[in-house]
Amino acid sequence: DTGVSQNPRHKITKRGQNVTFRCDPISEHNRLYWYRQTLGQGPEFLTYFQNEAQLEKSRLLSDRFSAERPKGSFSTLEIQRTEQGDSAMYLCASSLWQGGLFFGSGTQLSVL
């Protein structure tokens, strides 16, 4: 499968715990994006990388959130001290420059 891959698909955690999600983009894509989606809403932009450089961050990305793409390939999104309001689907996408974004299946986070 050569699409965008996200792990895990589902994550249940207790409030206050840290969680980390991984995204493997389409191999030839140089841009990688993280989005968050809650029920009944469209995806909301969190951050994006061009190669290994994090070029843009949304105001939605609080201090508890950090994203990395150390070698310009896979990326991780970490949420520290999770809160119930962090419960959402976290979507990763990749693209070639400013073209169409191709999304993974997402990681569904539930914070209890």
Partner 1 sequence: GQQLNQSPQSMFIQEGEDVSMNCTSSSIFNTWLWYKQDPGEGPVLLIALYKAGELTSNGRLTAQFGITRKDSFLNISASIPSDVGIYFCAGHTNYGGSQGNLIFGKGTKLSVKP
Which residues of this chain interact with partner 1, rule CB under 8 A? 4, 6, 31, 33, 40-45, 48, 50, 55-56, 58, 91, 93, 98-106, 108
Closest to 103 measured CA to CA, from 40, 41, 54, 36: 36
Tokens at 29, concatenated = 């894509």
Q: Which is nearer to partner 1, 23 or 111 (CB)?
A: 23
For residue 67, give the 3-state DSSP assignment: strand
